[in-house]
Amino acid sequence: MKYSAMRQFLRNIKDLFRNFWKSMIRHGRPTTDRARTQTVVQNFFLHIHPARVNRHALKWCTTIGLGIMTTVLFLILVVTGILLMLYYKPSVLTAYDSMKDIHFVVPTGRVMRNVHRWGAHGMVALVILHMARVFYTSAYKSPREFNWVMGIVLLVVTFALSFTGYLLPWDQLAFWAITIGSSIAGSPQDLTDALGITQYFNPGGFIKEALLGAHFVGEEALIRSGRRNLVVMALGDGQFVPRPVEIGLETGDGWVEVRSGLEAGEVIVSSGQFLIDSESKLQESLQKFVSRSRRNDTGKASPDEPVEN
């Protein structure tokens, strides 16, 4: 019995892709009248519901209406999301204020936001219940394997949309949600670190960086100069170049989000190494860096370069 079950399992794995294709295309070539009829009857765009069903399948307790309720909530989310998008400002500095404006200033803004919020929570719950119903009623078996795969894909997409929508108000809940969520997504890096293969294979770091959409650098490496924020790049062989960057969040534990201006793998240096404590010293240091770069490129000193004693 044990070996027969194992053989059956291996046979199922072998026939997986063929069964998946058969569940997606459930009829043969339309070379006969019967095949042509099946092509029309089983076409999703022509018949959303099957042409013939068992009378027991029409009972409310069979599906509990979870699919149609999820579809209705999705349409509500699309409409309310478009209305909220007209007033929302997708910026770190203005997102929270625009959310407050929607809540307190925009007419019926509070109603729209609450409907959108509770609709999103309800859709997540209904999608989970729908998946459980399909599983416990064995509705995923042949010839519905393709339906099951599409349901799993829609479940993941629903979770992703719920997670990204949770961040839009950009309040404390949103900040810690992205912090904890990205840390969980990056947890595979602990395994790759233990195996010593992180430099060759690092899925955790890739997923975390994809979620955050930015690199993080130490706060001490950031040079603040009026409206410009600069970091000093180490090019090697004693060469340094200042580069302007666009910053985002400050985590509070010594790290600053760099939204643009840096690439992965580039080396930056700390501002403390240059003892820059005033605007004049900053300008002097930047001028030295630029002059040194010009001198290395031309092979001689620049006429604007200050002479050092």
**What confidence tens digit (pLDDT) does each residue in 13-55 have?**
777 777 777 777 767 677 888 877 777 777 666 666 666 777 7
- Hey, where are the domains in the chain? 1-52, 216-298
Contact 198, 189 (CB under 8 A): yes
Contact 92, 248 (CB under 8 A): yes
pLDDT per position as a tens digit, 161-175: 888 888 888 888 887
Residue 50: CB atoms within 10 A of its CB come to 10
Q: Is the peptide bond before 303 cis (omega within 30 degrees of 0)?
A: no
| Cα(92)–Cα(84) distance, integer angstroms | 17
Compare 208 and 281 and report the one with higher pLDDT.
208
Contact 74, 123 (CB under 8 A): yes
Alpha helices in the chain (DSSP H): 2-14, 16-24, 33-41, 60-63, 66-85, 95-104, 109-136, 145-167, 172-185, 188-195, 203-212, 279-298
Residue in this structure with the two tokens 């997923």, named with its chain if needed = 207
| Cα(123)–Cα(162) distance, integer angstroms | 9
Rounded to 5 degrees, what angle do the CA atoms 19, 61, 162 make?
A: 70
CA 6 to chain centroid = 39
Average pLDDT rounded to a whole number, residues 249-277: 65
The answer, as to whether pTM is greater than 0.95, is no
What's the fold here for domain 216-298?
Answer: 2.40.420
